[in-house]
Amino acid sequence: MGVLHRGLLRVLQAGGWALEAWAVFPNHYHFVAHSPADADSAKPLSDILAELHRKTAHWVNQLDGTKGRRVWHNFRETRLTYEKSYLARLTYCHQNAVKHGVVRVANQYPWCSAAWFERTARPAQVKTIYALPTDAVQITDDFDVPPL
Question: pLDDT tens across 91-116, in order?
Answer: 989 999 998 899 999 999 999 999 99
What domains does the chain contain, in order, with CATH numbers? 2-131 (3.30.70.1290)
Q: Please, what is the angle between helix 45-64 and helix 2-14, to 10°?
A: 150
- Orientation angle between helical segments 83-99 and 123-131, nearest 10 degrees: 80
pLDDT band at residue 126 using 50, 70 and 90 as cut-offs: very high
User: CA-to-CA distance for 13 and 50, rounded, in angstroms?
Assistant: 15
Name the helix (H) or strand (E) containing 48: helix 45-64
Q: Are 113 and 29 in contact (CB under 8 A)?
A: no
Radius of gyration of the chain (CA): 16
Q: State the Cα–Cα distance between residues 61 and 140, nearest whole angstrom.
A: 26
pLDDT for 24-57, tens place per residue? 988 888 899 988 877 666 678 888 888 888 888 8
